[in-house]
């Protein structure tokens, strides 16, 4: 009898000690992270995630790097498709995602200020344009991570050989420099850079849009195209000055060989890696007040597919990815600038990027004179279409208004 009682007592204790199904040994919380980055940068980010995974074995982190940003945007903006747990999105996507995707969390929901006040202090350490671009209708929907801008990249040898001592700050100065550089007496047979990007119509379209902004227009956005004709016409006339006597090649404008290039951080680093003596400057404007450029930013968003009681597990991962230390390492190892204000002047970052630091600062300073480029929906197709059509417009075969279609 006593033996039976002991057995029943042991059995009851064993039953009570059984873990709940979610906490059962070997059960992990699945977490999906979506993003779309070039392979090298994706590998850097993935190494951080794997590092976190090793010390947080209760998570099953599944990473998906989309080969095209538009495929990612379409996936996230389609409410009929399963949402990931986390996604690194471009800032210009957020209004569309909030409107079409009820599963996206406001940051306040998964990181309440009263519980995570220290994390909201990141606002004081984030580039303000990126913080503001991560909001929709006054609500923060993502945490800024990294960004890039466009600046003027110029070949110092080309300018010096032509006797140009100061980098052009206006487009009139660019034209004056082009005349000196193109002068046969200056013996400029080997010019390795130009202002055009004939192999990338989207880049041409976005460069053109920046000049439209400088002329007071609203770029190539479909919703405001009706207000653009004057600014577009003015910009087209100026592009004609940059292509006198030069026939556009394959429909693209063949720019004057001015030894300059409008490009982003990655363009600069790639050109530097070839051994070219390139430096950077703020993009020229039609005057000193209109030197507007573009910024493209990325931020971390969370979606509603995790039980509330396990949300803290994903919060840990989100904090890790947006933490200063990861922003520092990502900026050191990729062609992007960190959203965190203090990364750029951190001694470790300065040491890592010492040879390029002063030139990268130009991109950092450009964010204050920039507008956020729209890469949502069909906008990339519009930029590509405009880039392809620009050569025909300059030749008079199409009207400037056709750039807005």
Per-residue pLDDT of the chain (405 residues; tens, 9 = 90+): 434 443 333 334 333 433 444 444 458 899 999 999 999 999 999 999 999 999 999 999 999 999 999 999 999 999 889 999 999 999 999 999 999 988 899 998 887 776 666 555 555 688 999 999 999 999 999 999 999 999 999 999 888 888 898 999 999 898 888 888 876 665 444 454 566 555 688 888 898 899 999 999 888 876 655 567 888 888 888 888 777 655 554 445 556 667 888 899 999 999 999 898 999 999 999 988 899 999 999 999 999 888 888 888 999 999 899 999 999 999 999 999 999 999 999 999 999 999 999 999 999 999 999 999 999 988 999 898 888 888 888 878 888 877 776
For residue 387, what pLDDT is reported? 86
β 260-264/278-281 pair status: unpaired
pTM reported for the whole predicted model = 0.88
- Tokens 């300018």, located at residue: 159
For residue 144, what pLDDT is reported? 94
Residue 139 pairs with which residues in a beta bridge? Answer: 136
Cα angle 289, 291, 295 (rounded to 5 degrees) comes to 130
For residue 8, what pLDDT is reported? 37
258 by DSSP, 3-state: which?
Answer: coil
**Where exactly are the structural domains of the chain?**
29-148+296-369, 149-294+372-404
For residue 123, what pLDDT is reported? 56
Q: Which long-range contacts (CB under 8 A, 24 or more apart) does 82-85 make?
A: 82/305, 83/303, 83/304, 83/305, 84/32, 84/33, 84/34, 84/303, 84/305, 85/30, 85/31, 85/32, 85/33, 85/302, 85/303, 85/305, 85/306, 85/314
- Is the fold of 29-148+296-369 the same as that of 149-294+372-404? yes
| Torsion sign over Cα 379, 341, 348, 34 | negative
CATH architecture of the domain 149-294+372-404 equals: 3-Layer(aba) Sandwich (3.40)
Report the topology of domain 29-148+296-369.
D-Maltodextrin-Binding Protein; domain 2 (3.40.190)
* Cα 354 to the center of its chain, rounded Å: 23
What span, in angstroms and rounded, lies between the C-alpha atoms of 209 and 223?
15
What b-and-e string marks burial along 76-107, b requiring 16 or more CB atoms within 10 Å of the CB?
bbeeeeebbbbbbbbbbbbebbbeebeebbbb
Report DSSP letters for 262-280, one per residue: EEEHHHHHHHHHTT--EEE
């Amino acid at each position: 009898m006593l033996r039976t009682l002991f057995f029943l007592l042991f059995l009851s204790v064993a039953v009570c000690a059984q873990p709940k199904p979610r906490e059962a040994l070997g059960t992990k919380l699945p977490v999906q992270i979506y993003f779309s980055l070039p392979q090298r940068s994706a590998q850097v980010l993935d190494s951080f995630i794997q590092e976190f995974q090793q010390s947080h074995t209760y998570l099953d982190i599944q990473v998906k790097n989309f080969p095209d940003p538009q495929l990612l945007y379409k996936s996230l903006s389609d409410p009929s498709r399963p949402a990931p747990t986390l996604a690194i999105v471009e800032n210009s996507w957020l209004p569309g995602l909030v409107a079409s995707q009820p599963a996206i969390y406001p940051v306040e929901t998964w990181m309440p200020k009263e519980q995570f006040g220290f994390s909201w202090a990141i606002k004081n350490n984030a580039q303000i344009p990126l913080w503001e671009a991560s909001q929709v209708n006054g609500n923060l929907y993502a945490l800024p991570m990294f960004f890039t801008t466009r600046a003027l990249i110029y070949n110092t040898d080309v300018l010096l050989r032509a006797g140009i001592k100061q980098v052009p700050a206006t487009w009139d100065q660019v034209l004056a420099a082009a005349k000196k550089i193109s002068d046969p007496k200056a013996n400029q047979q080997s010019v390795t850079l130009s202002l055009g990007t004939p192999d990338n119509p989207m880049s041409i379209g976005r460069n053109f849009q920046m000049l439209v902004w400088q002329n007071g227009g609203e770029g190539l956005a479909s919703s405001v195209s009706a207000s653009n004709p004057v600014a577009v016409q003015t910009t087209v006339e100026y592009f004609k000055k940059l292509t006198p006597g030069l026939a556009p090649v394959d429909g693209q404008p063949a720019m004057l060989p001015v030894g300059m290039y409008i490009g982003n951080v990655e363009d600069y680093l790639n050109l530097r890696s070839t051994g070219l003596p390139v430096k950077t400057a703020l993009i020229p404007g039609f005057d000193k007040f209109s030197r507007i450029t573009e910024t493209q930013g990325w931020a971390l968003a969370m979606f509603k597919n995790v039980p509330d009681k396990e949300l803290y597990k994903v919060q840990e991962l989100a904090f890790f990815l947006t933490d200063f230390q990861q922003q520092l390492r990502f900026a050191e190892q990729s062609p992007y600038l960190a959203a965190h204000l203090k990364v750029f002047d951190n001694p470790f970052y300065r040491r890592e990027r010492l040879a390029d630091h002063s030139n990268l600062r130009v991109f950092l300073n450009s964010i204050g004179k920039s507008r956020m480029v729209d890469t949502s929906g069909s906008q990339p197709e519009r930029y590509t279409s405009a880039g392809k059509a620009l050569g025909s417009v300059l030749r008079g075969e199409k009207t400037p208004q056709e750039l807005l279609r």
